Structure 1
Amino acid sequence: MSSITQLIAYEEGWRSKPYYCSEGYPTIGFGFRVGPQSAPLNQYQFTLPRVAGEAWLQAYLEMLKDSMEGYSDIQAALAQCNEARASVLYSMAYQMGVSGLTQFKKALHAIQRNHWLDAKNEMLDSRWARQTPNRAQRHADQIQSGLWFSGYSDTV
């Protein structure tokens, strides 16, 4: 499993059976939304094998990376990032969508200028950080330090 998939696996967790995410959407695997908000879970009568979930995750991450290439602010930020920092941006896009990541204009501009503390502070001054404070803190710390959070390697 690559470092970015370890990060996603840690942050999203794994469930082989459908469940409701925090926003009320039927979800499975590594946080894959499978239905509309509040749809009854009994409509999703399947189990996702982990190996299939890992393949799905890899395919989705490739699609996500391709989508992120269409945004100059994201590309300029990624160009300044080592793997640990870039993985945070991929994780944020995974969680919020690429359009959600584009809303972090000040953070992306701080990353482009290698102003890591400013980027961290901008990330933490957001609705995202209020909704998922632990994840946001881990990600903001990783952006600032450029070092991997040690817990990610425990998910394999």
Structure 2
Amino acid sequence: MCDLKQFPEKVLPRIRRAEGFSKIPYQCPAGYLTIGYGHNLEHGISAEAAEFILREDVSRVQGEVQNAFIWWTKLTEARQFVLVDMCFNLGLSGLKKFTKMLTALEAGDYETASAEMLNSRWAEQVGRRARENAAMMKSGEWI
């Protein structure tokens, strides 16, 4: 009979070595979409794993936005959030397509920046999210 406390410590290194690590999804030989150390995505992930991934993704996106826009530090926290949220949703290349909004934002014209957010296909697609973000962009306050 195995010692359940010791079992994972003996098993994990062997499975890591046998499976190998992939940070991007791939199809395993059986045809399943797989990631990490052989995790079959058809099994889903736990809420704890999803929370961990979300925190990593938000941290990465915040860094991307901060590095892309030198005027980032002049924004209120709520306006910084709006850019991070849009980047999280659209990707940095998608966010950069909001040229009129970004130009207005850099100039401190938050009313125009807010209007440009709402005057987009993105706003039609995400609805409430866009309206809330536009309101925060305009006011500079969390809602």
Deviation string 1:22-80 (CA, Å, 9 cap, x unpaired) is xxxxxxxxxxxx79xxxxx9x84223222221111111122222333442xx332x233
Which residue of 1 is the match for residue 73 of structure 2? 79
2:81 maps to 1:58: no
* Stretches (4+) displaced over 6 A: none
CA distance in 1, matches of 2:70, 2:119: 22
Q: SS of 1:97's equivalent?
A: helix
RMSD across aligned C-alpha pairs, in angstroms?
Answer: 2.2
TM-score, normalising length from structure 1? Answer: 0.61
Gaps of 5+ in 2: 1-24, 27-32, 34-39
Letter in 2 for 1:99: S
CA–CA separation in structure 2 for the residues paired with 1:75 and 1:51: 34
Answer with 1 or 2: which has the greater Rg.
Answer: 2
State the structure with bigger RCO (CA 8 A, min sep 6), 1 or 2.
Answer: 1
Q: Which has the higher helix share?
A: 2
| Percentage of matched positions with identical amino acids | 31
Output one character per residue of 1:74-106: Cα deviation in whole Å (capped at 9) or x when no partner.
332x23311111001000000000100001111
Letter in 2 for 1:49: S
Q: Which residue of 2 aligns with 1:96?
A: 90
> Counterparts in 2 of 1:28-43, with a 5 A limit?
none
Residue in structure 1 matched with residue 64 of structure 2 by the alignment: 67
Number of paired residues? Answer: 108
Cα deviation for residue 145 of structure 1 reads 0.8
- Equivalent residues of 1:68, 1:75 under 8 A apart: no
Distance of 1:62 and 1:49 partners within structure 2: 20
AA at the equivalent of 2:45: L
Could you tell me whether the CA contact under 8 Å between 2:65 and 2:83 is conserved in 1? Answer: no
Cα distance in structure 2, aligned partners of 1:69 and 1:82:
13
CA drift at 1:128: 0.4
What's the TM-score once normalised by structure 2's chain length? 0.67
Contiguous gaps of at least 5 residues in structure 1? 1-33, 36-40, 150-156
Task: Within 5 Å, give how 1:115-154 maps onto structure 2.
Answer: 115-149=109-143
